[in-house]
Amino acid sequence: MGLFNTGTGVGLPILMANGFSPFALPLHLVQLEYWLHGFSSHVIPFRLIDNRDVNAYAQHVADAVNAQCDRHKSEKINLMGISLGAVAGLAAIKRLGIAHRVATFVAVGGPMLGSDMAWAGLPTGIFTRLGLQMLPASPFVCKLASEPLPTGPRYLAIAGSNDYICPVWTALFPGAEGIVLKFHHFGTIGDPSIVRAVVPYLG
């Protein structure tokens, strides 16, 4: 499946990595909002394996960043990760050599230090690995947090004051400019206040 594209835009393209879900979440309304602000946007295609292993998702993000830069003949793009997609995006930047291709990295409601909701994945079997990775203070999140941020991208973390799945303490991370808005976790894919806050930071 190819990357979904909307608009042509005047700013650098935005590549979006969606959050955890056993099915593809609708981001077309979010894409439209950024298009109206002059940015073309693309959504990384849904793969179930990305929701089972953050490392697999990070590799998918890295491959998509490289593909979009090549497609647009652009040195850089904007990368936005929503919830789990934010963790995968940060892992891709830190570990997979794409920092030089990212103008701005935006993490929206990303549980960078884990989430208590990860406990729900442990007994499922299919999501057990992801659950273990995303538990608070797990070896995965602790190691990711300890790794330095590569120079190059501008880092922005958006947290929701009413987000009980990804509270402020886990959504903001050192080295990123932090903004706290009044939204709950399901607002990460539809709250217009997020778009208004993000646009000034995009390349």
Domains of the chain: 4-201 (3.40.50.1820)
Mean of the per-residue pLDDT values for the chain? 92
CA separation for the pair 58, 96 (Å, rounded): 8
Nearest Cα to Cα of residue 77 among 107, 54, 100: 100
Q: Which of these ranges, 24-28, 34-38, 182-186, 191-195, has the smallest mean pLDDT?
A: 24-28
Q: Read off the pLDDT of each residue in 186-193 and give the average, rounded to a whole number.
A: 85
Summarised one tens digit per residue, pLDDT across range 48-90 is 999 999 999 999 999 999 999 998 888 999 999 999 999 999 9
For position 3, what pLDDT does the model report? 44
97-134 pLDDT, tens digit each: 999 999 999 999 999 999 999 998 888 889 999 999 99
- Calpha distance 140→114 (Å, rounded): 9
DSSP collapsed to 3 states, the chain: CCCEEEEEECCCCEEEECCCCCCCCCCHHHHHHHHHCCEEEEECCCCHHHHCCHHHHHHHHHHHHHHHHHHHCCCCEEEEEECHHHHHHHHHHHHCCCHHHEEEEEEECCCCCCCHHHHHHHHHCCCHHHHHHHCCCCHHHHHHHHCCCCCCCEEEEEEECCCCCCCHHHHCCCCCEEEEECCCHHHHHCCHHHHHHHHHHCC
User: What pTM value is reported for the model?
Assistant: 0.92
